[in-house]
Structure 1
Amino acid sequence: MTLRNLTREHFQNLVALRQLDLAGNNMKILNENVFATLTRLNFLNLSHNGIVELLPNQLAKLDKLIILDLSYNSLTYLRPEVFEQIPLLWQLKLKGNQLHDTTNIITILKPLNFLHRLDLSDNKLRTIWGKESYANAPVTLATNLHNSNMPMPLALAKGLNYVSTLEPNEYHQSKRKLKLINLSRNLLNGFNMDWIYEIGITCPFKINLEQNLIKNVYALSNLLNTTNDCEGEIIMTGNHIECDCNLAWIYNNNYSRFFSDLQCKQKSTNLLTKFTQLRRHELCAWQSVQCPRNCVCFTKSELLHINCTGAQLDVIGELPRPEQVLLTTSLLDISNNRFTVLPLSTTFGYANVSKLYAAHNQITNISLLELPNDLTVLDLRNNDLTSLCADFLRVFLNESTKLQLLYLSANPWICDCSAQQLLYTVRAHRHRIPDVEQLRCANKQNVTPLTASLSELCQTEDSVKHYQYMNAAITTAALIIIIFLLIVALFFKYKLQIKIWLYGHNKLRCCIREYELDENKMFDAFISYAHQEADFVNHILLPQLEQGEPPFRVCTHERNWLAGAYIPEQIIESVEQSRRTIIVLSQHFIESDWARMEFRTAHQCSLNEGRARIIMIKYGEIINSALLDKELKAYLDMNTYLDWQDARFWDKLRYAMPHKVGRKPNTDMLEVNGRLYVMGQVEMNCLCSENA
């Protein structure tokens, strides 16, 4: 039996449903609101249906979805907003569709911060590069792309309380560490080893490129920084690799160990030969130019990047040519070196450079013989340039539009009568000089190439005195304005401290009350803490908040959660029903998986609403800060927190809480979404009677 024309009404009585399998029903287009009532769904299988499009709000209510199977449909394009609404997605199966746009794939995956498994086999992808590099993809995607045969990591399964369905029967540590990427049976026509470097693949790894249209595999000598004990495998079976000079790099740094099954076609015999049976001279009679010593070379955004920043070089020999990696132009970065002149344009590989970054050197002069003809970007900041020759200004600025960006700041420019052409050119082409406002004349105080005039540069003694008087008057007026602005800035800087003091001393609260956006929420705060800090929370923090003035309604997992209920669901519900989430940050907290999950849930809720909802309290010393996960460390770097040892701790905490006047503490049972919570004094009385 097949199902078609499903609507929201078919599932309106299944609000607690966790798994839904609709595979093989020939549903080409789904109703946009068909899943609107399935707010607790974890697993959704839509494979083998012929679906041609996912509508913008198709999955809007499925914010707890963990696994989504869209295999063997007719999808050619995926809307990014569809996946923005399922942020907890862990596994995404897209095998056997018609996907061909790499940039679209990268875009839809960016919001999926918890994505751990991805299958893109049997599609129409022609390249694994988009307009944006895979370096910008989520970290979890970059290091954990797995095919559908990989087991779910044990820690994640426990964290989602979904072990009974997803945890494998046998769990091997070595399998968990393996990075496996399945790109088989697509239309890839080339593969670049730079891709492995860009997405940060670590050993051991396995990349499946079977049954594509790959003819060439490209690399430079020092891109893949692996050791001889690195275990890796790249499967190329079913492609048509050509034995030529483009493959000669495979003999460098023992790369050949990654390609145990590689066969290539010899041009002379047109026969498939196992590359291990060929010697280097049989592939290529010439030695390809590799990356210069102490430099790093890689491909990105259709450019061959040659990065020699800080290598302490004073001369450049040969450079790799971009055609060696199937490109046409290069980007050369020689910043922070000891160059006094640029390389000659006759240097091997230098003519292909279109972007040249030579900042922080000792360059004193620029000659046309030192510049590639097709430059689009030239960075000469922080050098020793005092002027630019007339030929350079004419060829690269006045008569040409190829040079799009020219950086010239932090050089000792000499502004005198001989600098006329430099002054005129800088002003005429200021739109191509992004740092033009930062240019300064080294021989004239408070004069820039934009403000200097020839009458000032070639002036008489009387005019000199006149301009000195004017400059003194302008300087005095500017100082007065600056002092006034400084006083105003200091006033506004300490405005927050004044508000905290007023609120802590019950003064003028009507002027600082928070706008009521959370009238429907049941709690003022949810306290997240490690169980070792229960004494601090129950005997110090809770009494001050619930019995102080004003009193607050507080939720904790010890007294408000129901035993045996679904823990991730209770975390999400507690955060969503609270106006603030108080994090008691301690060494025990950062070592607790559940505590960190509560922080991530609160942080995601805060990001979704665009409001500051988290109050961070530092309790005790953080002995081992290395255990901080990236998301929590990033939050601490960008936000302030309260210190328990602060003398004004309680004033600051009450100021950070929701500003409501006259709230009475609830001492009864509270019902939220059909669940009863024990509140305040009632629960304390029960505890007292039990102890008695």
Structure 2
Amino acid sequence: MMRSWMVLPAFLLWGWAAGGVTLSLSCGRCEGGPDGYTCPSSDSAQAYVLRALPDQVLRVECRNNGGDFSLLKGCNFTAFRQFEFERCPLPDVSFGEVFRRIGVPSGDVKSLSLTAGSWNASSGLQEWHLDSLTNLQTLQLVDNNFTSFPRALLTNTPKLEFFRFIGNRVGNLPHTMFASTPNLVMAELGSNGLTSVPEDLFANLTKLLNVSLWNNQLTDIQRSLFSDITGLRFLDLRDNFLSDITNRQFQGMKILKRLNLGGNQISSLNKDSFGDLRNLEELELQSNWLENLPTGIFDNQRLMQKLILRNNSLSKLPDRIFQKCESLKMLDLSVNNLQYIERSQLPAHTSALTYLNLGSSNISLSEDFISDSGTHFITYDFPLSDQLELQHIFLDNNRINHIPSLFNNLFVDLKTIDLSGNLISYLDFPSIHFISDGVKLNLENNLIKTISLRKLKFFSFKEKIKNVTLSLEGNPLVCNCLLYRFTKIVQEKSELLSKSSFQILINDADKVTCTSLENRKMHVKTLDFKMLTCELELCLDNCTCSWRPHDEMFVVDCSFKDMKEIPIPSKDIYKLENYSITLNLMNNSIANFDGLDHPFYTRLANLTIPYNKISHFNKSDLPDNLKVLDVRGNNLTFLSASTLDYLNVTAMTLSLGDNPWICNCDIIDFSTFLQVPERKVLDPNNIKCASDGEELLGNNEYTMCPSFRQRMVIVTIVLITVFLLLFAVLGTMSFYKYKQGIKVWLFTHRMCLWAITEDELDADKKYDAFISYSHKDEEFVNTVLVPGLESGDPKYRICLHYRDWIPGEYIQNQIMQSVEDSRRTIVVLSSNFIESVWGQLEFKAAHSQALQDRTNRIIVIVYGQVPPESELDEKLRLYISMKTYVKWGDAKFWEKLRYIMPHPQELTQKKQQKCINADKLELVKSNSKNV
């Protein structure tokens, strides 16, 4: 039966990532999906998933160990040069034949990878499997559990450069396996269960640069194993059972760059173990059994940049052991038992050391010398004082109880400090204020109880803003006043975040907790920082004192002490910095405020003295800076007017409930005080009358003080009387001042016409008005004035000389007769009128008639500009100066003119008749209801 390698499923490959080649294949019954193409598309006992990868790579993943070989017809895979097979069985023909049958010339195959094969243990590689792959450059046989390696497998791969044989169970390798691969550059033989390696395995491989034998069971390395590969750059022997590296196994490897011996059982090294490795850059010796290192072992490693000695049993290092490692950048000595480290045991000050790991080594650092003034001096025997280039320092899980000041003022490029798992109990601002910016400081799992940031500086434009990132999870922080600034920083509510030249960031803010005085663990992220306090030893007798930084408050608690008077402090206690005071005297027997005039209470801001025996207090009893007063449950019955006046001009917050208030006339002012919305009285509903238990605000003045009603009635009557008198006086004055305007308005709206009707004197007059005008103003009179008067409401009868005079009569007689027969004489005063002789005569006749009747009969209408007084007749000038006139163009011209015209009596009679009729109608409606 043919094996599945002879036939591969068809697929469609649409985008070639590496070379930009677009391939389009269509054959078989493949189905595309997000993970590639599955062949065949229908459910089958055999299936394949194919993916096209960059660099002409085709990956084939076999499922269910089989396939429908008939699907391959017409498929073309010639564009691929590298093939990866995952979980596929070995073919029963050579890979060269497999590639030929799918259209790929075997000579074109550059890379072959077999990973996690699914064949049985009895099946394995055969010498002919790689036949015809003469141009193969890379071969990977990974995690296939092969139990043997054919001696001549690589005979037909002379161009092989990279060989990986990993995760198998061969135990041993044939000494001639690389005899036909002179171009081999890399040989990775890790995790194969090898117990030994033929000493001539790498013979004649002069191009070999990289050898890996990690995770095998090697106990020894033959001295001649690497003798022919003097050009080796990388050698990985980690995780074996090597114990003896004293016989110069690495002799002649003068250009080796990297050597990994970690995870072995090496207990001792010879001074010359690495003597020939002059170009070594990286050496890993972690997880061995080393207890000491010989002096001078690294003297030839002047180019070494990385040295890993982690997880050994070193208890002491020789002096100057790293002095010649001038290029050393990374030194890992963690997980040893060094206990202490000396400056001479580290690289010279000229080294390039940037990474130092001394974690889990039971180390305790010497303390810096600190002067009386607080100045820090670096001690010269401090082990790290020469390592000026350090960037990453790991001192975790040691016995360090402080952060050395050298960290703050010596390392200009510092980036990471790990001090987790130590014995540090106190943290303040100077200990985390580093020269360099952006330092990450890990202080997790220490014994830190207090974080004091009082010396955190505010922003200065002369300083560059820097920051430090802290990790603090697992410390037994105490929730007290010293944690106040830190808590605000954690909650991002501190003004220091915007004003300080040094910013503190908390990496694990959600995990940092503190323990309260009640032994309750609380998350700092959600802690109420306003309530953080510290209890003080210095206090008033029989009281407890604490400091609250949120409002800079000195809290004195003297509650429930059966005190008879306010306590007086000693001299020492009030010699403090600027602060305010809260005094709690709840549940004592104090009867007055005597003692508050002591200098200590000058800064008293909150006085809490409920449930005592206070019966009264005045302004003089209260300190000037008092902001809160709580006198609940005392013996107060009223507050004096002077006390209320004082409280009115302050912003004091008051608690006044549960007192025996006497609700009489004396408490009305207090009741009014409580009703002001701006008053900060916290318990108005608990202020009740002693007599009936009713709320003071629920009683009115008349209930509490009956005489108050009589006074209010008298005051009300007096106010109403004064108002009416004032209204009458102002009304009368206004009427006489604006009498004509009022009458015009009344007449226009037909109101109170009885007050403006004509006398019986004009009852028999023939005309309402005679118009005197210049013939030059005839157009205005005939087209505007006369139509407006004769057609308006009421309609006036107008006497006009051209219409109503008798022809042939003397003009003088006609003028006199027209004036006498008219109730008014309208003079159209204009510049033309001044020049008219007849107009002057008509005015004089009208003026004479007015004087005779003792009534105002002349109506002057100014048409155009008022003529100069010098051009007017003497009588006309006098009349104009004494009487008002109507000017044409005025917005209320017609209203004013009709008002000064005669008022027909029928207007008044109609108005009165409407009122009479309305009264009769109401009387009829009233009578109908009664019936």
Q: Which has the higher helix share?
A: 1
TM-score (norm 2): 0.20
User: Which fold has the larger relative contact order, with Cα–Cα distance below 8 Å and residues 6 or more apart in sequence?
Assistant: 1
- Higher Cα radius of gyration: 2
- What's the TM-score, normalizing by structure 1? 0.27
